[in-house]
Structure 1
């Protein structure tokens, strides 16, 4: 035992060698070595791991395929369990009601309760696939669909700020796993809603949901949230707290508004300076109000694919938060759809296309999404405008309504 302790102490004094051993341990895991053997090696030479070291490993192994990430997700968690060093901090923000992390943890407690109920109902279904047991499972799964709000707040509020600190692992990896869970919940709902005796298929997909949701709670509370708390400023947490309402909450809402001890973030009034354009003059206030009153959502990204502006009307179709400003558009989309964005932008930049249209059913809306290449007088590409509109009201128009009779 003393030999192992000496090994660890020597590695602590030599961080480069320690990081190299960590990388080799995870390389062995990725190459299919037995998890128990890898865990034993980890315990012998590493013992405890810091959040910063986990972040570096996620960066080093960030280029995994979706299939590889799916396969290794549970194995990574097995290695980390019980080995993450805790940093003691006085007046922990996550213990303050209304703080974003406090709210995330409250949601996780409710999610965990729901998943336990789901497990009980699944056991009943496994014994007897009666209509009553099917309906109990369907009710649980419908409630669990609310987890999308929990994951969306991570993706649109936590991940962007981590990226500003050079931490990309959660964006590259955790977002993919979030999508696996979302898809599995929807698949379970579909199987239950049209159940015709496919008992084993229902059991398998719900077991997958239960396992992945529980594992995700562990990864959030032991890796992601400490990583964010170690890096974010109080001002950044205030912004995150304010913008969380835009996306919504899962199963439970914050118990109160967070009031930090020190808050240096000042609300800046919009300047009343004027902008002279080719066809008129508007104040900045007038221009912003005009754009926000349009019955469409507008988003502009510059020539470097960085989000620079979005309109903020009363009824946005897709959630947007101010955290996306200054973020590349690729990192504002789920990993599985990034290739579509890349192809579209490549066509715009090369001049092969000037517009691209998509239309989808989204909740109770029929959404028309249009992209326009924005070019200057010489034809040089300076960015892309996204134009999103609910066209249900337009499709319902019949006959005529004239101003003049």
Structure 2
């Protein structure tokens, strides 16, 4: 092949697979190419020109060194070349197995083929294959529906993998302790469902009703576990090119949320058979997700993310909270680079005034609305820390707004962004009732003096008390307020 500045890593490694080891050792910045997920996602678009810039290497030097390595390798023994080709064929065969699985081939047949091909599969293998399937156009819903079988095929080899040990206080350590506590509650619910009887009876349901209500309330704490994954862990993985597994898992999170709601409703309305049936599906879905986290997601994340990534995840956890447990231990790591926006000194000249960064923070944090800003490239750049209606945490900063919403909402979000960008609309608003509160949600297009689209600001307000106002108040009358700090 002809080597040019526009040659992609994917095409280069397809033609010369042995160059993978060469590039990994060539510059520290290229070490992440060892991650098959990163290669699958970015390799198709990363050119040598981009790679040279990433490694701070002159393009001509990089291309010259690659050519020299190709020439050197041409003189090596055929055995080494065969080893690289065998490794490439192995990954292609693994991908073929998963495609056959989706096509309906018996999983037991796939497991036998797998055993003949490989004795060891890592979490990265599963992630890389799911990433490849997405890149090839397979719908995420289909991958979600089959991901249990993906794990089942690799189960034996996954369980042979040595689980990484992390210190107390590390985000993965906290996730693990939460999983232990959540699994205990789920197993208890499983026993309570069994005690309703076979077949389930109304009397059995009455006997177990209080226990089930209490344990379902405990299980609902899983929301914090999932929110930390969605708002902290997933954004960090996405920045390293790992996009498919988070999307598949988020869809399953939404399934758990819906199931939990349905089971609690069935517990109030019956019949007993529905409670048992839906309750067992809920328990199985949660236990299966815990297995995927412990054997696929967390090992993959520990392999992929840097210490700086984990520090930022740890710093954002408290804003969301924890499920049934609190972090145990005082894990500390080198923070690396300081995230943008932390500098507090100096003044910022605005159109109608001069404020310090601290004053701007205080202003936004005091407003009785939840403010978020998405720039013209659909990237989340800011949210206020004051009044909070919906969960937010630092992990969403720098993330595309489409990835911050469940799949069911993405189409509406995209429609608003497209209309704002095209200049067709400047405002969109919704109002909903949530937890007996009236929530008003508004979106405003931001445009510069020439009318060019510069992003969108979202304002979310709890308008419950505002809707109750009537008549007028023209005088200050704190004496009638229920709180000494009232307006």
> Structure 1-normalised TM-score?
0.90
Question: 1:123: Cα distance to partner?
Answer: 0.4
Q: Is the 8 A contact 2:163 2:299 kept in 1?
A: no
Give the distance between the partners of 1:164 and 1:67, measured in 2 at CA: 23
Do the aligned residues in 2 keep the contact of 1:375 with 1:381 (CA within 8 Å)?
yes
Q: What is the aligned partner in structure 1 of residue 304 from structure 2? A: 231
Q: How does 1:324-335 map to 2 (within 5 A)?
A: 324-335=396-407
Count how many residue pairs are aligned between Structure 1 and Structure 2: 388
- Give the equivalent residue in structure 2 for 1:217: 290
Residues 1:399 and 2:476 aligned together: no
Calculate the aligned-residue CA RMSD, in Å.
Answer: 2.2
Shift of 1:217: 0.5
Q: Superposition pairs for residues 144-293 of structure 1, below 5 Å? A: 144-195=219-270, 198-260=271-333, 262-264=334-336, 270-293=343-366
Matched position secondary structure for 1:361: strand
Match of 2:87 in 1: 15
Secondary structure at 1:126's aligned position in 2?
coil
Alignment of 1:1-400 (within 5 A): 14-62=86-134, 64-65=138-139, 67-84=141-158, 86=161, 92-93=165-166, 96-127=167-198, 128-130=201-203, 131-195=206-270, 198-260=271-333, 262-264=334-336, 270-313=343-386, 315-400=387-472
SS of the residue 2:262 aligns to: helix
Q: 1:145–1:186: 8 Å Cα contact kept in structure 2?
A: no
Contact 1:357 1:370 in 2 (8 A): yes
Q: Deviations over 1:329-374 (max 9, x none)?
A: 0111112211111111111111221111111223353221100111
Measured after TM superposition, the shift of residue 328 of structure 1 is 0.4
List runs of 5+ in structure 1 lacking aligned partners: 1-9
Alpha-carbon spacing, 1:184–1:66, altered in 2? closer, same or farther (3 Å): farther
Secondary structure of the structure 2 residue equivalent to 1:136: helix
Give me the whole-angstrom Cα distance separating, in 1, the residues matched to 2:439 and 2:342. Answer: 33
Deviation at 1:203, TM superposition (A): 2.0
Aligned equivalents of 1:80, 1:337: Cα separation in 2: 33
Higher relative contact order structure (alpha carbons within 8 Å, sequence separation ≥ 6): 1
Q: CA offset at residue 269 of structure 1?
A: 5.7
CA offsets per residue over residues 254-281 of structure 1, 9 Å max, x none?
A: 1244334x45466986343222233222
Q: Which has the larger radius of gyration?
A: 2
Superposed displacement of residue 135, structure 1: 2.9
For 1:24 and 1:269, locate their aligned partners in 2 and report how far apart those are by CA, in whole Å.
48
Q: What's the secondary structure of 2:283's corresponding residue? A: helix
> Residue 372 of structure 2 contacts residue 384 of structure 2 at CA under 8 Å; is this kept in 1?
yes
Taking a change above 3 Å as real, the CA distance of residues 43 and 11 of structure 1, as seen in their structure-2 partners, is farther
Deviation at 1:50, TM superposition (A): 2.0
Name the counterpart of 2:17: none
For residue 326 of structure 1, report the CA deviation from its aligned partner: 1.1
Residue 68 of structure 1 deviates from its aligned partner by 2.4
> What's the offset of the Cα at 1:253?
1.4
Change (3 A) 1:263 1:280: closer
TM-score normalised over the length of structure 2: 0.75
Tell me what 1:6 maps to.
none
CA distance in 2, matches of 1:183, 1:338: 18
d(CA) in 1 for partners of 2:403, 2:428: 20
Q: Deviations over 1:265-311 (max 9, x none)?
A: 66986343222233222222222221221111111111110111111
